[in-house]
Structure 1
Amino acid sequence: MSKVAPPSGFTRRWLWGPLSRMVAVIAAIIFAADQASKLWLLFVYDLPRQGNIDLLPFLELVTVWNRGISYGLLQQETDLGRWALAIFTVLAAIALWVWAVRSTSKFAGVSLALIIGGALGNGVDRFAYGAVYDFLHIHFGSFSWYVFNIADAAIVAGVAALLYDGWRGSPNKASKGGSKGRKAG
């Protein structure tokens, strides 16, 4: 019998890192919450048959099938376009996973986990239905925000957190940069 070689350092470094477990758990929670909410609204509550439901004066449950990406951009009506978008979603999630497992910042890890979980949640919809099921609609008077789901909210929160993290910078970089300035005198 031949023995299976243990994963090489290269494989471990690219696929598993110090934050991998945390990222996987958070992404799994987002994915599960997204899919559970969609499945319940579609198949248990049967929201498409029930029609729109007002939850609050500014929030309602609706049924929208989004064949594009966030905010309905890049609508894909052809099978080729839908499959390309679904495959891109999977590839993006893999790239984000590699980034997350190589990261040493817990803040960045959480941010990336939110995006990964959301991307995978919407990706399952693309593969299963050819479109993403969106159901939350926020509106104030004549103002109407786009219809979204839990995955979309997680993706937006993750991207916003990554932007904030990049804007605030690393404390180590700030302290190192401050000591390289001109000498007084």
Structure 2
Amino acid sequence: MPSTLTEKTSTSTLSRTQARKFFLFGAVGLLILALDQATKAWVLHAMPLYSQKKIIPGFFNLVHVRNTGVAFSIFAGTENPWRVPVLAALTVVALAVIFFLYRESRPEERVKRVALSLIAGGALGNLVDRVRFGNVVDFLDFYIGPYHWPAFNVADMAVTVGAALLGVSLLRGEKPPWSHP
């Protein structure tokens, strides 16, 4: 009987560990999704399309633009009827890969898990826009003089920070899941 009790305790602990691990994924991902969608809703409500509000002259504006492409407006302006379904499908595939990487991560790989959670939340935020509007709402415009960084949004920031953290986790020696014995 004691071995059965030990097995149940071990299984129960594993389940709680897994639950905590996935709570982080869901909490961070949903927080990013909610923040992204709330800020975009404000832009849609407060700013007409193609308008801008100077916040820090010579450095930062709020704008209301639409990105029909992907990051940094790659593939923007393409009027192919398959553009939205293909980009949405690629996002779903990327989310599946992110979920797999997260599931395979070890509990001590905290930086990697936060990174993947940020990337997933950002991908979901832009996927919602793509499905709803056929494009992504961008509104943060940083620039110096005439040199503008492409406009972006909260989801883009989460993906960028997540990718940087993922790079840090790999540099710190957190092994990719396919290298685990």
Q: Tell me if TM exceeds 0.5.
A: yes
Cα gap change, 1:65 to 1:167, in 2 (>3 Å) = same
Residues paired across the two proteins, number: 157
Displacement of 1:162: 0.6
Q: 1:71 to 1:78 in 2, by over 3 A?
A: same
CA shift in 2, pair 1:160/1:136, >3 Å: same
Shift of 1:141: 1.5
Instruction: Report matched runs for 1:8-157 at 5 Å.
Output: 19-43=21-45, 45=46, 47-48=47-48, 51-57=51-57, 58-75=59-76, 76-104=78-106, 105-157=109-161
In 1, Cα distance between the equivalents of 2:116 and 2:68?
24
**Aligned-residue offset at 1:143:** 2.0
For the Cα contact (< 8 Å) 2:119–2:163, is it kept in 1? yes
> What percentage of aligned pairs have identical amino acids?
34
1:165 matched to which residue of 2? 169
Unaligned runs of 5+ residues in structure 1 are 1-12, 172-185
SS in 1 for 2:149: strand
Provide the rounded CA distance (Å) in 2 between the counterparts of 1:50 and 1:85: 23
Structure 1: distance between partners of 2:28 and 2:167: 19
Quickly say closer, same or farther: Cα 1:131–1:50, change in 2 above 3 A. Answer: closer
The one-letter amino acid of 1:48's match is P
Deviations 1:94-153 (A, max 9, x none): 220121122121110100010000000000000000001101000012321110000000
TM-score (norm 1): 0.78
Letter in 2 for 1:54: K
CA contact (8 A) 1:19 1:103 kept: no
Letter paired with 1:33 = L
Letter in 2 for 1:87: A
Deviation at 1:37, TM superposition (A): 0.5
**TM-score, normalised with respect to structure 2:** 0.80
Between the aligned partners of 1:151 and 1:128, the Cα distance in structure 2 is 15
CA RMSD of aligned residues (A): 2.3
Structure 1 runs of 4+ with >6 Å offset: none
Q: Distance in 1 between matches of 2:146 and 2:119?
A: 30
Query: What one-letter code is carried by the residue in structure 1 that aligns with 2:148?
Result: S
CA distance in 1, matches of 2:142, 2:50: 19
Uncovered stretches (5+) of structure 2, i.e. residues with no partner: 1-14, 176-181
Assess if the C-alpha contact under 8 Å between 2:111 and 2:169 holds in 1: yes
